[in-house]
Amino acid sequence: MVAQLIDGKAIALQLRTGIHDEIAQIQQKHSDFKPNLTIIQVGDRQDSSTYVRMKLKAAEEASIDCHIIKLAADISEFELLNEITRLNNSLDVDGILVQLPLPAHIDETKVTNAVLADKDVDGFGPFNVGELSKKGGQPLFLPCTPKGIMELLDVSGVTVEGANAVVLGRSDIVGKPIARLLTKANATVTTLHSKTPQAQIELFLSQADIVIAAIGQPQFVQGSWLKEGAVVIDVGTNFIPDATKKSGSRMVGDVDFESASQKASLITPVPGGVGPMTVATLLENVILAARRHYAKNNETPKFTEPLTLHLQKPVPSDFEISRAQQPKKITQVADEAGILESEVEPFGAYKAKVSLDILKRLHNKVNGKYVLVTGITPTPLGEGKSTTTVGLAQALGAHLKKNVFANVRQPSMGPTFGIKGGAAGGGYSQVIPMDEFNMHVTGDIHAITMANNLLAAAIDTRMFHESTQKDGPLYKRLVPAKKGVRKFTNSMLRRLNKLGIDKTDPDSLTPEEVTRFARLDIDPETITWRRVVDCNDRFLRGITIGQAPTEKGFTRETGFDITVASECMAILALSNSLEDMRERLGKMVIASNRAGEPVTAEDIGCAGALTALLKDAIKPNIMQTLEGTPVFVHAGPFANISIGASSILADKMALKLAGTSPDLSAEERQQQEGYVVTEAGFDFTMGGERFINIKCRSSGLVPDVIVIVATVRALKVHGGGPEVKAGAPLAAEYTQENTELLRAGCSNLGKHISNARSYGLPVVVAINKMSSDSEAEHAIIREEALKAGAVDAIVSNHWEEGGQGAVDLANGVISAANLPERNFKFLYDTEPSVEEKIATIAREMYGAGEVEFSPEAQKKIDLYTKQGFGNLPICIAKTQYSLSHDAALKGVPTGFTFPIRDVRASIGAGYLYALAAEIQTIPGLPTHCGFMNVEVNEDGEIDGLF
């Protein structure tokens, strides 16, 4: 018998041609599909260079983008591992191949283990090797040579199942994995090696139907050892002397080809057998990796791993519920949501920062559905808006299996330790761990505090130095010589550009230019920038600074705000990128000079440092709900004087993660897309109006549906019920059925629905169920809501039942979010005057008859208009307890005079804010404070929160 050759070259060419055609076919639909293989070669070994060139050529022929990184032979192991980490984190790299062998001083196992499993196209990493070794294991990639061998057997028509196979060799690269693959294909496999006695080798080979020779010894296997008709796969690549060859040597396998070909039925030649298949299957693995990565970047994962709730009645405290639930590791939560390992920066086990690189990776995806949760005019008891946000997200994810994000603000510790409590939701619909959520999270608020107060210190310091120095010395100290060279900083160059001075050499400025540049000439009476602290400290509302003798009598009156009232916080919420945040921070107006011109943080030279302090804070934080669905916790602008909503960046990232491939049909998209549930502070008429007219203007996003949360209790207050106070017993009107009071109060709900509908968006009312409610009362709310124009009004019991209690609400939100009719519009254009925009909000949203501007407010409006800020949107700071400026006016007051006592500028954030009546920008503490209940137990756990 003369064996038939298994032509590895021809089979590999066919495989590579198929890969080329597959790429072309995918690219017809997805032009941005570009598979990439990056090969790391350490040193200059001739054989390694030969193999690398072969792989590069084959990749190019198959239309795979292939890059080679050549590193010096003496590179340290640490440097090599860093390079692998960089490639692991690169969105442009699909496959990483480390060309072996490596220099002796480098641990090959440590290096191959460092390659991410989903980029380990060699199949050498611990995940892929381990999965291959397990019964039922699912490796992402098979090692290339064993995979190529199995392909050769398959194409050649060899029956593996039931065959007696002998693997000669036990290397991690060939011997062990091919033995495992043959076993999985139901062959009976014997593994022999160089220490097996030759007699035993001959005996086993004489009975083998399939022989895989990978022992690394030239021409070791003799034809006389083989079973008649055996299939022989020769993996060996050995060089023996041959004077007839120009190189003086020739390549042979581990099998004596001449004798074996007389006994075998099929045999692979060397070269031209297994070698070409190794390269071809490597490329096949790269395509597999690229397809997975492309799918990861375009498909919407379904939520499939909810945490189980163990519901109790009566419902325990929020703290007890949170403590009883074991959260997932945050890395698991992120992975389930479609976030890559390289995009997650864990802060402990249950919270993490998420990289903005997600927006770049997922830029092609069509956004998921955008759900805005707001409420009716609240009472001091709160109506469950955050609880509804979380419960709705749990219903969508844990029960309806949608990819979902709840996006909420980071709570200030002022209310946490005061009287309001935390902002994690409540009952069986909350963010966990709730103690970590309510305290610090990852420190963003502290970063805001530091940035804000750095600017405050810089303002007073600049004024002090300008008051104590003449122009020349002041300029020299502002732009000092370092090693004999003077240079303007980036901020200084921006200020020069603002002044119209086109110079970059500090020594070239004229005396007049020096004065204009160096002297900000801040008018102390116009300073609007205050220091901040994340605490309810009423005694900091008004202070005098500069009383130490070192300040030489430079004193002025100022005060503190709470950190979440800082413009830096509003900018964090409204920025669209790191670069955008840098520009906004520079534009913050902190005062006017004595000529009436605005002075900015850029003029102070502080914007770059503020950005540096906030460069990590700009990354959203990820946590989870009680049922394990993901939550973005980011930014926390004060809801009275700012937008009261979480960040644009968190919303944009969540919408991409919940988004779908652009190539889907409308029906496919509706089936696959996910949902982002975000909330706006207080009621729709405050938080929702700002969300749309300020936040949506900045982000370019528009909600698909608005959810308005209502409670029987709050509507009764607006119907004329007795006053309610936190901590005080409720009157009988609120604990017993009272349909007359309720129906009267539904006018408040109707006004909010009408206000929301004026933006051209569908509205769903969430009736947040409480134990004292009656079905008749729920029916009245639904009747009045539909009459006012809501798409639906649905009872939700998420506080008591978690996501299961909000499934009906979730289905209603899905239906409303997919309604075809949309006629979105803003409430006002930005071109009209400041007075007109304020009047439009007051009349249309609040029901005011007219607006009254105090002399101080009018003076500010005139100044900001003169300074060029009159075309900004408006944020009105007022009480949350009434549609009007007066907390005592419940229901739907109309025709009242709306007083504007002051107007301030948040130019970096991008709006002016008008203060109606009295609004405190730093709350005070009550007699009995929340902090009085807080302790740390012997296990180091926080007790006593809510």
Specify the DSSP class assigned to residue 54: H
| Beta carbons within 8 Å of 858's beta carbon, 6+ residues apart | none
Beta-strand relationship, 425-426 and 705-710: unpaired
Is 837 in a helix, a strand, or coil?
helix
Catalytic residue among 41, 99, 410, 624: 99
Contact status, residue 906 vs residue 569, Cβ threshold 8 Å: no
Q: Which two tokens stand for residue 318?
A: 């929020």
Contact status, residue 315 vs residue 321, Cβ threshold 8 Å: yes
**Sign (positive or negative) of CA dihedral 259, 264, 265, 268:** negative
Question: How far apart, in whole angstroms, are the C-alpha atoms of residue 577 and residue 586?
Answer: 14
**The residue to which tokens 């049909």 are assigned:** 665
Contact status, residue 178 vs residue 214, Cβ threshold 8 Å: yes
H or E element in which residue 372 lies: strand 369-375
35: nearest Cα among 22, 49, 18: 22
Is 695 in a helix, a strand, or coil?
helix
Q: Is 920 tagged catalytic?
A: no
Helix axes 471-478, 511-518, angle to 10 degrees: 70
859: nearest Cα among 589, 529, 596: 596
Omega of the bond leading into 101 within 30 degrees of 0 (cis): yes
**The residue to which tokens 């375009």 are assigned:** 298
* Chain centroid offset of residue 149 CA: 42
Q: Is 99 tagged catalytic?
A: yes
Catalytic residue among 41, 55, 227, 878: 55
Contact status, residue 391 vs residue 805, Cβ threshold 8 Å: yes
Q: Which two tokens stand for residue 431?
A: 């963010």
Helix axes 444-468, 567-574, angle to 10 degrees: 130
Question: How far apart, in whole angstroms, are the C-alpha atoms of residue 401 and residue 394?
Answer: 9
Q: Is 55 tagged catalytic?
A: yes
CA distances from 33 to 62, 64, 465, 656 (A): 14, 10, 58, 18
If you count them, how many residues does the chain have?
946
Residue 589 φ then ψ, to 5°: -90, 125
Specify the DSSP class assigned to residue 310: -
Catalytic residue among 7, 120, 122, 561: 122
Is 188 in a helix, a strand, or coil?
strand
530: nearest Cα among 914, 916, 911, 906: 906
Active centre residues (catalytic): 55, 99, 122
